[in-house]
Amino acid sequence: MFRRGQSTTTAYLFLAPFLISTAIFFFYAFARAIYYSFTDFNLFNSPKLIGLQPYTQVVADPSFQRALTNSLIFAVVTTTLQTIFALLMAVALNNKLRGMAFFRSAWYMPSITSSVVITLIFLWLFQRRGIANYLITQWQTYQPLILTFLIGLVVAQVIQVLLERRSGLPARWTDPALAAVSALASLVVTAGLVWSGVAGPREVAPFDYQYFADKWISVGGVQILSIPLLVVIIQNTFTTVPTLMLFFLAGLQNIPGALYEAADIDGATPFQKLMNVTVPNLRPVTFYVITVGLIGTMQMFDQVAVIGSAAPQDTLITLAFYVYTNTFKAGAAPVNLAAAAAIILALIILLMVFIQRRFFPSEAR
Amino acid sequence: MKKVLTLSLGLALLAASASAQTASKTIKINGYGGTDQTLVNDLINRFVKPQMAKDGVTVVYQPLQGDYNKALTTLLAANTAGDVMYLPAETVDGFVATGKILPLNGLVTPTPFIKSLNTAFTRNGKLYAIAKDFNTLTVVYNKDLFDEAGVAYPNNNDTWTSLATKLRQVKQKLGSDYYGTCLQPNFDRFGAFAYATGWQQFGANGKTNLADPRFAEAFNWYTGLAKDKVGVQPSELSAGWNGDCLKSGKVAVAIEGGWIVNFLRDNAPNLKFGTALLPKNNKTGQRGNFLYTVGWAINSGTKNKAAAAKVLNILTSPQVQEYVLQQGLAIPSRSSLTNSAYFKKADPGAQNAKLVFQGADDGYVRAFTFGPKGPDWAKPINEALASVLSGQKSAADALKKAQADMTTFQSR
């Protein structure tokens, strides 16, 4: 219908809004950032080229070094955790169970909730008088009862299995039917002990751990990972797993069922099926998930900004946050340093993706 | 088609020139959002607009929501900030460095204003803003707790030792559920005590000396209150700040400014409170105090310098300041207001206002500011306070680390 030239024009017309906004807000902004990173720009002066000086200043800045370490550790730990959990969850949710639609949507909830809201909730959970500390206090209080119950359970199970085997029946140590009976018996015994006053909850002082304080996990005297950042890692894993799980779920649908049938015939255990059928076949998805995960975690900003001054800055500062705080100050700001840090961040991400592409092929074998 | 295009273009041009004309006769004011929005609009309607209308100038208030300093920075960098604006004393250095704040020498007369407030806005002999109002710290106490414990109220003659003794006694008499005071691990409260010893925030070389024995004296006194839980951090009582602590009815004293009055009125209407000046240091016999203040400044890029200066003069005029004081909203910055009838009222709010006003020139009073490198300056001090108050470090160790961090920070 259309002549060739006309249809190209039409296509460009439709694409124009995106092309223009990408050109202005991405390519132009990126070029400006590169330019500023070689100048003495402070938002208010007319920029003058000063060569590599901003880069040397940034690299020598202790808060940049901390931000870089925090970002790298955060990226590696979070990406690893979220990839593993997402895969396991996808495998679990790929089964045909009753009410699966409910579980799928329930697990997906954290992902669609705003990260600011989740961060506020986590701040509340990990307060000094928060739920986390409350649960630990409860655990300590009821530890005697829980231990009594567990010991009772094991003893009852051992006795039952030995009895069964003596009468010539093949009973496993983990037999669920016997375990149910053992649990019931142990519960009765524990309740009896509580009632007679032999065992009971302990009096303990409230567990009073400050999660958002200047506390670090150190290796050989070098501060590696701060406790506040650990909380953010837990939170980030919690919120990103569902999205990544969705990718894995999509990937799982594409694995031919015949492969599993063949594995079943060969007598493979579920774990062997996971490692030898599922994981290799999901390689393209895994590549995508890790790439997206690394990019997302390297740019992590919102959680740190929301927690703000609730935790000491060094414990949480990331590269993106460093760039932000150096650009938006009261009055003149070292924008050239922020730009240099942003370029370094971009280079690191590019390098990560490059290494991954080079050494971890994205195609299924 | 062409005709329509030319016509609409012409119209657009006309509209643009018309708006440019009105813009040249408008004075835009930037300030805080929130409650300030209502207050400043009220002031503008009552006092500024009628006078400026005679000159054919309209005045509009444009509040900046969220982080004011960041928003103002962006507007100034984009040359879209107002002609007149709030300038918080703690960020003066950063904004002066931009060259966008007009020195007011010759445009306004600074003499009627409290001297320490003018000092807060002066850099290299140039005055950059006139304080619109201010606050200082006072000792606000819960009368019932002192009565119950049979301990005398804090008063204006208290020294560090006598106040600490009173707090200890209250704690002893009332038991473990009650506390003497809340201690925020922050320079913005603690600093007032450091000043009382005669300690200087910046030495002659512009460096901060935390190894100064005077600083250590204040540090030891402040953190020493945490012994036996006479002083606790607000977070230990699940409180956000000292006002929350006092509100709980379990804490005898809060070291806070005049802003606590309206907070208590709204959140603890039955709490009977009194106010005293901060205690004097035993050695120097002086109090220390902070001046928390925000000034009116003029944009150096304004097209209507004369009109902007006139607006600024009206906003700091005696009539406006008396009005602000009467409303119980803030403590104005003119020294002549010391005789205002409002200060003679018996109501605890007015009494608090009177002592906040007195605090501005009693002892070693310094503006609340962090110097040219901004709020990060206070970080080493805050960390030292937090680590000692939470029992993680000894005062000596914490001070040693703070000094090392400060040296690194300042040599950057």
Write the pLDDT tens digit of every residue in B266-289: 899 999 999 999 999 999 999 999
At residue A77, the pLDDT reads 95
Distances (CA, A) of A314 to A215, A229, B373: 10, 10, 17
Angle at B248 between CA B243 and CA B250, to 5 degrees: 110
pLDDT of A30 higher than 90: yes
CA distance A202 to chain B (A): 22
At residue B399, the pLDDT reads 94
CA distance A316 to chain B (A): 14
In degrees rounded to 5, what are phi and psi of residue A255?
-80, 125
Q: Are B47 and B39 in contact (CB under 8 A)?
A: no
At residue A232, the pLDDT reads 93
Does pTM surpass 0.95?
A: no
Give the Cα separation of B111 and B109 in Å (integer). 6
Place of tokens 């020598």: A60
In degrees rounded to 5, what are phi and psi of residue B365?
-105, 130
CA distance A313 to chain B (A): 9
Q: Which among B92, B386, B376 has a CA at the least distance from the CA of B236?
A: B386
Which residues, 6+ apart, have CB-to-CB distance to B83 below 8 Å? B27, B28, B29, B298, B299, B302, B303, B304, B307, B308, B311
pLDDT band of B259, cuts 50, 70, 90: confident
pLDDT of B18 higher than 70: no
Give the Cα separation of B100 and B83 in Å (integer). 11
**Chain B CB contacts of A129 below 8 Å:** 238
The helix or strand, by DSSP H or E, that contains position B85, with its residue range, turns out to be strand B84-88
**Chain B CB contacts of A43 below 8 Å:** 73, 77, 98
* Angle, helices B160-174/B213-224, rounded to nearest 10 degrees: 20
> How does pLDDT run across B131-179, given as a tens digit for each residue?
998 999 999 999 999 999 999 999 999 999 999 999 999 999 998 889 9
pLDDT of A173 higher than 90: no
Q: Do residue B97 and residue A332 have CB atoms under 8 angstroms apart?
A: yes
Collapsed DSSP state (helix, strand, coil) of residue A240 = helix
Q: What is the DSSP string of B225-271?
A: TTGGGSEE-GGGGT-SSHHHHHHTTSEEEEEE-THHHHHHHHH-TT-
CA distance A63 to chain B (A): 10
At residue B23, the pLDDT reads 45
Amino acid identity at A146: I
Q: Which among A294, A320, A305 has a CA at the least distance from the CA of A67?
A: A320
* Nearest Cα residue in chain B from A59: B412
What ipTM, to 2 d.p.?
0.73
**Chain A CB contacts of B70 below 8 Å:** 328-330
Q: Do residue B91 and residue A330 have CB atoms under 8 angstroms apart?
A: yes
Q: Are B88 and A345 in contact (CB under 8 A)?
A: no
Q: Do residue A61 and residue B94 have CB atoms under 8 angstroms apart?
A: no
> Percent of chain B having pLDDT more than 70?
94
CA distance A229 to chain B (A): 18
- Least confident range from A164-168, B41-45, B122-126, B247-251: namely A164-168
Mutate to test the interface with A, among B69, B98, B128, B376 (most CBs of A within 10 A): B98
pLDDT of B3 higher than 70: no
Q: How far is CA B383 from the centre of its chain?
A: 22
Give the Cα separation of A284 and A281 in Å (integer). 8
**Chain B CB contacts of A44 below 8 Å:** 76-77, 97-100
**Chain A CB contacts of B74 below 8 Å:** 328
Q: Do residue B74 and residue A328 have CB atoms under 8 angstroms apart?
A: yes
> What residues of chain A have any CB closer than 8 angstroms to a CB in chain B?
42-44, 61-62, 127-129, 210, 213-214, 312-313, 328-333
pLDDT band of B5, cuts 50, 70, 90: low
CA distance B325 to chain A (A): 29
| DSSP at A63 | H
By Cβ distance, the residue of A43, A127, A129 closest to B73 is: A43
